[in-house]
Structures are given as C-alpha cells and as structure tokens.
Structure 1
Amino acid sequence: MRYIAGKVVVRILLKRYLDMETIDFSVNELGKPYHKEIAGKQTVNFNISHSGEFILEGFAVGMDIGVDVQEMAGCPDYREIAGNFYTAEEAEDVINEGPELFFQYWAAKEAYVKAIGIGLGRGMDFFSVRNGEITEKGRKGQGWHLYPVKIEGYAAYVAAHKKGDKSNEL
C-alpha cells in the first residue's frame, strides 16, 4: 500500500509543480524512475523510499537526489550484514556501536546508491559514509552531501549532488 501511495503522491506533486495534466514516467537502464522531458519545463529529479509507517520522498531541480528511510526494527544479523556490505572500517564501527549505527549507515548508503542510479547491484562497500561524508576510494567530498532526516525510531537520509559538476562525477 505504501509503495502505491508513494507513487501517487509523486505524480500529484510533479503535476502541480510542473503545471501539467499528465506526466509520463520511464526508468533508466538500471531501473531508476524519472519523468520524461517536457518542452519548456524543468526536469525534477525525485526518489522514494518507504519503511514501517513512513514514506520519504525527495524532489530536486538541477541536482541528483536519493532518499532512504529504514525502520530501526530488530535485525539479529546486523553484524554479518555489515561485514558483507560495508567497508571494513564501517563494519568495525557497527560491531563497536551497535544496531542503531548499522541502520544509520544503511540508510545513508542506500540513499547514495539510489541517487547515483545504481541501486544495490554494485554493492555498498566501494564507498564509505563514516562521519556523514561520502568517501569513495579515499577521495572525500566529490560534491555529494548527506542530510540526515530525524524520525524517531527510523534512520533516514537524503543524498544530493549538483548536476553538471564534471570534476565530481563518478
């Protein structure tokens, strides 16, 4: 139900913002949804996530954007999952700090991979989100920013990057 509600809200908000009766959507080669180009209108990038009782949606003009929300419910295998999907340093952080950090890292990482349009297919250990910064292969910054979203009982992040910054593209 939240999946459908999220899509309906995106359609309604984009129609209002773009002042259009209908909007056509498509997906890129990796499955990231986008609205088709409309003559004379700005392209609005968007992303949706849902978990538990929440739907998180992000919209941006001139920026790549990804969002993720994770209910911090029980996850007995969080250490093993961190060991398989996180950098070695992040996995160690999770072992030392516990499940809340596991969920914070997961939401930040998933927001980033959704923003760059690759989903989880490439994995999440090729970059780090330690200290609220995205670092890939030892390079900090890269023009990407992580913004935590405060929701009690949930971990949620927005990842955003200004388009056209060629020096920071992956």
Structure 2
Amino acid sequence: MYLYVYEGYQGGREGRQRTEELVRRAAERYIYEERLNLGTVSGRILRTERGKPYFQEVPIEFSVSHTGSLWVCLMDTGTVGVDVQEIRGCRREKIAERYYTADEREYVQSRGESGFFQIWARKEAYAKYTGDGFTERLRSFSTLKDTSVEFIDFDVCAGIKGSCCMKEKRELWIRQIV
C-alpha cells in the first residue's frame, strides 16, 4: 500500500482537474512500483452515487485527501480510505461531543488537540473507505474499538495528522510526487 504525497497543492476551480492529474501520476507510479501488468491509466476517473472516485478500466483502489497545501493519495489493490487534517483551532469539545464515541472522547481528553485531529482523520478515512461519506453511523462507530477495519496513523509533516483505513493491516510506503 502506497501513500503518495504532493506539497504545493492549490484547490479552487482547478482543484478537481489537478487532483485527477495527480491521481493518474500516482497510479502510474504505483503500477510501476508494484510491477503490475495493467498498462497505462488513461481513462476518466468516475464517481459512485455518493462520490467515491474510481478508475473504470484499472483495478486499483485509491483515496484522496488534502489539507492546506498538502495533497495525499493512497493506492492499493483492496478498498482503502485516507484523510489528512491540519491541526488548527476549532471547537473540538463540541465536535467530539457530537461525533465521537465515549472512548474516543476519553482519548481526546488524554491527548488534547493532537488526539482530536487523529480521531477526526480516522473517522474521515473510514467514511472514504466505506464510500458512504460522513453519515450518522459514524457517531456510533469507534475508530479505537471496532475490529472490522484497521487503521494506520501517520504524520507526513509537522502539524498534520493522517490516517489510512483498510480491511487488513498492511505495510505503508510513503512516496513524494512532484
């Protein structure tokens, strides 16, 4: 499983087009690094009814996230989800009370702001993994206790928390793309 990182991302109007270019670049590199015999990634990136992106003709799963100028894309042959969150000021107690389970709120109390954003990245990664988005089910889903999925937490750079969600834990390789 590979996490491709791009620094200097700018969203806005061109954000979706730029994301598709970066996803294709990451996919080409993934195919090369995994020595997969899949050819090139040339087709459009499609989306499910709920917005989960996928390749029509290439059997690679991917998930994308960005925060500030950091963009990441997780690639694997199995279903995956990824999220990155820049640590910033917010009403974390109020958000945690609304969206976190009791054990997650306890985790945030013991770890503070960093713990809050780690759980938030896990929740978002899980939502992308399932393809359901951020639904009511996430309020009762514990990213600390549920064993139906695995998480790998990572820090790409200072002040940013990240998490990957997958069915079974795998080794995570982080690569820069330019």
TM-score interval, normalised by the smaller of the two chains:
0.7 to 0.9
State the match for 1:54 in structure 2. Answer: 70
Determine if contact 1:72/1:103 at 8 Å carries over to the other structure.
yes
Q: Secondary structure at the match of 1:118?
A: coil
Determine if contact 1:15/1:22 at 8 Å carries over to the other structure.
no
Q: Distance in 2 between matches of 1:14 and 1:96?
A: 39
State the match for 1:146 in structure 2. Answer: 151
Q: Which runs of 5+ in 2 are unaligned?
A: 1-9, 32-37, 169-178
Corresponding letter in the other structure for 1:146: F
RMSD between aligned residues:
2.0
Does 2:51 match 1:31?
yes
Runs of 4+ in 1 over 4 A off after TM superposition: none
Does 2:13 match 1:13?
no
Higher relative contact order by CA 8 Å / sep ≥ 6: 1 or 2?
2
Q: Which runs of 5+ in 1 are unaligned?
A: 136-140, 163-170
CA change 1:89–1:21 in 2 (3 A) is: closer
Determine if contact 2:24/2:41 at 8 Å carries over to the other structure.
no
Equivalent residue runs for 1:3-152 within 5 Å: 3-4=15-16, 5-15=18-28, 17=31, 18-20=38-40, 22-36=42-56, 38=57, 43-61=59-77, 63-75=78-90, 77-130=91-144, 135=146, 141-142=147-148, 144-151=149-156, 152=158
Deviations 1:75-119 (A, max 9, x none): 2x1100000111122123323432111100000111011101111
Determine if contact 1:85/1:123 at 8 Å carries over to the other structure.
no
Q: Count residues in correspondence.
A: 147
TM-score by length of 1: 0.77
Determine if contact 2:150/2:167 at 8 Å carries over to the other structure.
yes
Corresponding letter in the other structure for 1:10: V
